[in-house]
Amino acid sequence: MSKELEKEFSELIKEISKEVLELSITKSVESASFAIKAQVPTMSQNIEQLKKALESLQWVNAELIKNQGEVKARDTRIDIQLKNMINKLESNIRIGKDLQEDVALIREDSNRDFGVQVKMFENAQANIRGDVKKQIALSETQSSILRELVNENIEEGYKRKKILSWTLLFSASSFGMLAILLLHTLNVL
């Protein structure tokens, strides 16, 4: 009989332990659900902040794309200007060669008819000097414009690089701070 009592007593203790454990689990779940409910407004706020950060990142991305378009357009304009200048320089070189050929022809003609040709030679020489001076002035102007364009392009490239670096740094740091806030709210950190 005492073994039966022991057995019944043991089963009774097991049942009581089981009920205590179930009650403990129920209490834990209830307290966890209250804690989660208390954090819902904070989580919602963090989600809103993340949405705003995402909108900011999308705006920054749109600005970067817009700036890239402007840079491409400017580079295209500069390329066209450079090509035009190169064409003008090539034209000036051709004119210079033509002038040299004219001088050579004038020399040949002057050997044939020296008296008449001397006057023509002097006139041609004056014209050539004038044309050469014009060509030199034009070449100097084009050279200075080319230098200015190159310097502006270098400065613009440096400014764009600096703006892009700061923009990316700002975007990354903003997103990082919001991620830390969310992780802190979720009690991960």
> Could you tell me which residue, 45 or 129, shows the higher pLDDT?
45
- Asked if the model's pLDDT at residue 14 lies above 80, the reply is yes
Q: Which domains does the chain have, with CATH numbers?
A: 41-185 (1.10.287)
Nearest to 120 by CA among 108, 131, 110, 128: 110
The predicted structure's pLDDT at residue 60: 81
The predicted structure's pLDDT at residue 111: 64
Report residue 115's pLDDT band, with 50, 70 and 90 as the boundaries: low
Lookup: tokens for 53: 């950060």
Residue-averaged pLDDT of the chain: 75
Report residue 54's pLDDT band, with 50, 70 and 90 as the boundaries: confident
- Asked if the model's pLDDT at residue 84 lies above 80, the reply is yes
Nearest to 167 by CA among 52, 62, 38, 28: 62
For 50, residues 6+ apart whose C-beta sits below 8 A from its C-beta are 178, 182
Report residue 55's pLDDT band, with 50, 70 and 90 as the boundaries: confident
> Could you tell me which residue, 26 or 162, shows the higher pLDDT?
26
Q: Could you give the CA distance from residue 80 to residue 149 in angstroms, rounded to a whole number?
A: 12
Model pTM score? 0.33
Radius of gyration of the chain (CA): 44
183 and 49 Cβ atoms separated by less than 8 Å: no
Q: Count Cα neighbours of 149 within 13 Å in the Cβ-side half-sphere.
A: 17
User: Of the ranges 12-21, 99-108, 150-159, which is most confident?
Assistant: 12-21
pLDDT 10s digits, 33-53 = 777 777 778 778 878 888 888
